[in-house]
Structure 1
Amino acid sequence: MKENYNLGKWLAGEMTEIQLEAFKKSPEYYTYTKIKDFSSQLTPPDFDADAIYQKVLRSKKNKTVFLLQNNWVWKIAAVITLFIGIGFLYSNLSSVSQMAEAGKRNSFLLPDHSQVVLNSVSELTYKKSNWDNNRECKLVGEAFFKVAKGKTFDIKTTLGTVTVVGTQFNVKSRKNRFEVECYEGKVKVQFDGKKTFLTKGQNIVIQNGNQIDALPLNQSQPNWMNHEMKFSSENLVDVIAEIERQYNIAIELKTISTDQKFTGILPTDNIDIVMKIISTTYHLEQTKTAKKLILQSNENKSL
């Protein structure tokens, strides 16, 4: 393993300055330091190597004899063994995080083989160990879940919690907006001390703690999985933020103030169409620079 090789070179003092600097920046360096401090206190048992060697020569004259020397080799072996054990324990007790970067998605399986697809700029965290007794995920952003039959777990966000059993559903939690869509089975949604149940084809949108009207579900899976962004009475600032996530671009809203909400569907695979719709809807002029897009109202363009 590369990690064990680096650990051995570090303990033996054989790293170059460049390798040492890179090693110090690794997330494992702190743990290695603690292990090294601990291993320095280990003392191998005293023994007379020469006496043992002579005894072996007398009793095994015709056999190959391996002379054991340099106690630091034993220390490294002990530390590596300890490191592997700590690594195994850490990997099973620590939280697992899955992320999707801007403009990308991430598909993976939970320990019970439930399927998850993360939308752009989203993260899901869960405990891999003891999953059967602690089925809980923490979500930041948006994700689609296809839960294995007979399995149940909670998806917790800063705005609410969704409890499910063998179902397909979508959860979105960004800023002060919380959305849940049920595509199969039944889900329980809890927010601000309230509780409601959704069945197939139902959805709920919570904005600033209040339930608002939502576009009906007309597909078998979330719009974003079909290269679309769906908005229900959303502020322009939040619409632009979602466009930035999906296209991994920077957009500046310059001298724009509007209370007009946006409801509709935009593509996630054609930025030109998206910007044309937004510009037409809000009467904006578009300017493109090397690093970002700038949107400003017609009357303020000359300012």
Structure 2
Amino acid sequence: MKENRLLAKWLSNDLNEEELAEFKASPDFEKYEKIKRYTEHLEVGELDENAMLSNILSQKKATPKVVPLYKKWAFRAAAIFVLALGITMVMQFVLPQTQKAGLGEKMTFSLPDHSEVVLNSGSEIHYKKWNWEHHRHLELQGEAYFRVAKGRRFEVQTNLGKVTVLGTQFNVKARKNRFDVVCYEGRVKVNYANTQILLTHGQSVSFENGKQVNRNVAAQQPEWMNHQICFYKENIKSLLEEVERQYNIKIELHTKDTTALFTGKLPANDLTVALQIISTTYHLEARKGADTKIIFDEK
């Protein structure tokens, strides 16, 4: 390091006498002196800085673009999100949609054409959003009230029969072997087995075990939407099953006479009164069991 420092000072003539004597005593002094003697006669032309810069830029190769690793992960995450969003949207339109009202509950929702559906307790509906405007078809399990927007044919399929309308208000109930349809506005076509019936405003039809019962309806909408359970010539077992759905309870019946038919209304928001009406009508006595169980015994 010291020799290099002395060499630099010697080339620039900055050595004092002591440093000069020390440098001349070095073994490489003669070599340095010859080099200096020959290079003093060399002439170097002026440096054209602009020309040199242009030459460097013209020969410069394109630098590969480097994408940081975290950006790669961000792009991948964004792609996965877009793909997942697309799949979710397709599934929502193609796969069947389900709306369900639990026991003791009622549920209101709208279909893609803004038709309105009110589900009664323990009921559910399945439908597809895809191509709904041209194929308005749904499947019902239980009971529902429909306010159908005008448009193409609207079909409600149950395990007991099918109801077809264009734009109207009606109620459909399919429970076990009982099938009830009530028309509150417009016209409704009902298909049950090999029977086809056209209902108009205020008309109703019921089928139970293949037998048909017709009746007129005075109400403007289903009684169950006003917290009343309406029955028309139904046996006690069907009556108690509906009470179980509306109140989300269990009922145990101890009686031999189950043939008497019931026509009338029970409150859907007052269990005590409902139990009193049933007890009086069928000469039974109601008592509470474990949890939510109600037991009817013969008097």
- Fold equivalence (TM over 0.5): yes
Aligned equivalents of 2:209, 2:124: Cα separation in 1: 22
Question: 1:82 Cα shift?
Answer: 2.4
Choose 189-198 or 280-289, whichever is displaced more.
280-289
Question: 1:244 Cα shift?
Answer: 0.7
Residue in structure 1 matched with residue 217 of structure 2 by the alignment:
217
* 8 A Cα contact 1:213 1:232, kept in partner: no
SS of the residue aligned with 1:166? Answer: coil
Give the aligned residue type for 1:250: K
| 1:62-73 paired onto structure 2 within 5 Å | 67-68=68-69
Give the aligned residue type for 2:192: F
Show structure 1 runs of 5+ residues with no match.
1-53, 58-64, 299-303
Aligned equivalents of 1:156, 1:288: Cα separation in 2: 38
Identity fraction in percent: 47
Aligned equivalents of 1:69, 1:142: Cα separation in 2: 55
Does structure 1 residue 232 correspond to structure 2 residue 232? yes
Give the aligned residue type for 1:283: H
Give the aligned residue type for 2:278: I
Residue in structure 1 matched with residue 128 of structure 2 by the alignment:
127
Residue in structure 2 matched with residue 100 of structure 1 by the alignment:
101
* 8 A Cα contact 1:99 1:118, kept in partner: yes
Question: 1:257 Cα shift?
Answer: 3.8
Q: List per-residue Cα deviations over 1:173-201 (Å, max 9, x = no partner).
A: 01000000001100000010211100001
SS of the residue aligned with 1:178? Answer: strand
Residue in structure 2 matched with residue 207 of structure 1 by the alignment:
208
Question: 1:288 Cα shift?
Answer: 0.6
Aligned equivalents of 1:213, 1:279: Cα separation in 2: 28
Question: 1:84 Cα shift?
Answer: 1.9
Residue in structure 2 matched with residue 152 of structure 1 by the alignment:
153
Distance 1:149 1:134, change over 3 A: closer
* 8 A Cα contact 2:94 2:129, kept in partner: yes
SS of the residue aligned with 1:259? Answer: coil
Residue in structure 1 matched with residue 286 of structure 2 by the alignment:
286
* 8 A Cα contact 2:204 2:214, kept in partner: no
Distance 1:218 1:86, change over 3 A: same
Distance 1:230 1:78, change over 3 A: same
Q: How many residues align?
A: 237
Q: List per-residue Cα deviations over 1:190-221 (Å, max 9, x = no partner).
A: 0102111000010001001210254x311110
Question: 1:80 Cα shift?
Answer: 3.0
SS of the residue aligned with 1:273? Answer: helix
Question: 1:147 Cα shift?
Answer: 1.1
* 8 A Cα contact 1:227 1:267, kept in partner: yes
SS of the residue aligned with 1:159? Answer: coil
Residue in structure 2 matched with residue 196 of structure 1 by the alignment:
197
SS of the residue aligned with 2:186? Answer: strand
Residue in structure 2 matched with residue 55 of structure 1 by the alignment:
63
| 1:7-26 paired onto structure 2 within 5 Å | none
Aligned equivalents of 2:193, 2:203: Cα separation in 1: 20
RMSD of Structure 2 on Structure 1 (CA): 2.1
* 8 A Cα contact 2:108 2:116, kept in partner: yes
SS of the residue aligned with 1:104? Answer: coil
Whichever of the two has the greater Rg, that structure is 2
SS of the residue aligned with 2:280? Answer: helix
* 8 A Cα contact 1:177 1:207, kept in partner: yes
* 8 A Cα contact 2:179 2:207, kept in partner: yes
SS of the residue aligned with 2:88? Answer: helix
* 8 A Cα contact 2:136 2:152, kept in partner: no
TM-score normalised by length of structure 1 = 0.73
Aligned equivalents of 1:168, 1:285: Cα separation in 2: 39
SS of the residue aligned with 1:120? Answer: coil
Aligned equivalents of 1:128, 1:69: Cα separation in 2: 39
TM-score normalised by length of structure 2 = 0.74
Does structure 1 residue 241 correspond to structure 2 residue 241? yes
Show structure 2 runs of 5+ residues with no match.
1-61
SS of the residue aligned with 2:124? Answer: strand
Aligned equivalents of 1:69, 1:213: Cα separation in 2: 72
